[in-house]
Amino acid sequence: MTDRAETPAPEALAPGDEEAFHIPDDLALALTEFAAVEQVSRGEAICLILREYLRAKGYLKGAPQD
């Protein structure tokens, strides 16, 4: 994947927003397995899953990216 979502600079975040959200253990395990099978990083796996979900729900338009 070559495209990256823009994220706000740390100083632009409200206090407390800089902490990552908690991923429940069952989802973390499934994500790790997905990333291994697809041979991508966990971050790339998250992007792939979110992109497909948002496209399926109609929030993301356009052709799938490889």
Mean pLDDT computed over every residue of the chain: 80
* Token pair of 13 as six digits: 């975040």
**Whole-angstrom distance, CA of residue 46 vs CA of residue 57:** 16
The pLDDT value given to residue 3: 44
Would the pLDDT of 2 be above 50? no
pLDDT of 4 above 90: no
The confidence score (pLDDT) of residue 47 equals 96
Percent of the chain exceeding pLDDT 90 equals 56
Q: Is the pLDDT of residue 46 over 60?
A: yes
pLDDT range class, residue 60, cuts 50, 70, 90: very high
Q: Domain coordinates of the chain in residue numbers?
A: 25-57
